[in-house]
A and B are shown apart, each in its own frame.
Chain A
Amino acid sequence: QSALTQPASVSGSPGQSITISCTGTSSDVGNYDYVSWYQQHPGKAPKLMIYDVSNRPSGVSNRFSGSKSGNTASLTISGLQAEDEADYFCISYTSSNTRYVFGSGTTVTVL
């Protein structure tokens, strides 16, 4: 039930910057600043990287940043490192009765 659209994969070389988009609608991303981003390594629990569109939890590298424009939220990873290779997904609060909508997930590959 991936209501938020993300690119299936994004890749970059070490040191480069990449951006992952998360496109929703005016019922979710466009209407609420409750967008969060998660990093997930295979077989592991997700880790919160960004909350409230652009806030970083304590302990998360400042190489990770978030933003939003209209119905699209974005996660930017700058200074790409090998350890950043993982799956990333977004979650948004929604006015629908499902409460939350999830992104389809993006696999980040460090070349």
Chain B
Amino acid sequence: QVHLQQWGAGLLKPSETLSLTCGVFGGSLSGYYWSWIRQTPGKGLEWIGEIKVSGSSNYNPSLKTRISILLDTSKNQVSLDLSSVTAADTALYFCSRGSPNASDIWGQGTLVTVSS
């Protein structure tokens, strides 16, 4: 049974870099897109970006200049870095396993708050 476990800092100051990691347990990174999605009460859900083992990646154009999504196949992990955060980046962040047709497994979510 594949499951995803997320971790990372939950409280950041403006201009800092958000760094989250998603560990993939019970399965391989190969063959899937690994995505990051965030959720806020006001704006709802927002797709951040995705990556495959093949190296193919896609980012939300509105966040592209600040995002880095990487795979570490030796550790079976997916990471997200989002630089120069502001209060607008405060959200519940999820990693997920998917493909263009669906995200079938999700991490537990990490609440990230940006506040001075």
Cα distance A26–B43 in the bound complex, in angstroms: 23
A6 to B: closest C-beta gap in Å: 10
With A34-B100, A46-B94 as given contacts, are A2 and B44 in contact (CB-CB < 8 Å)?
Answer: yes
| B58: interface (CB < 8 Å) | yes
Contact B44 A51 (CB under 8 A): no
* Chain A residue with Cβ nearest B95: A45
Interface residues on B, range: 20 to 34
Contacts of B105 in A (CB 8 A): 48
Binds A, one of B13-21, B69-77, B82-90, B106-114: B106-114
A55 to B: closest C-beta gap in Å: 9
B100 to A: closest C-beta gap in Å: 5
Contact A36 B94 (CB under 8 A): no
Binary flags per residue of A25-40, CB closer than 8 Å to B gives 1, else 0: 0000000011010100
Binary flags per residue of A1-32, CB closer than 8 Å to B gives 1, else 0: 11000000000000000000000000000000
From A44, A45, A91, A97, contact of B102 by CB (8 A): A91
Residues of chain A touching chain B, judged by Cβ–Cβ distance below 8 Å, are: 1-2, 33-34, 36, 38, 43-48, 51-52, 57, 89, 91, 93, 97-100, 102-105
Residues of chain B touching chain A, judged by Cβ–Cβ distance below 8 Å, are: 43-47, 50, 58, 60-62, 94, 100-109
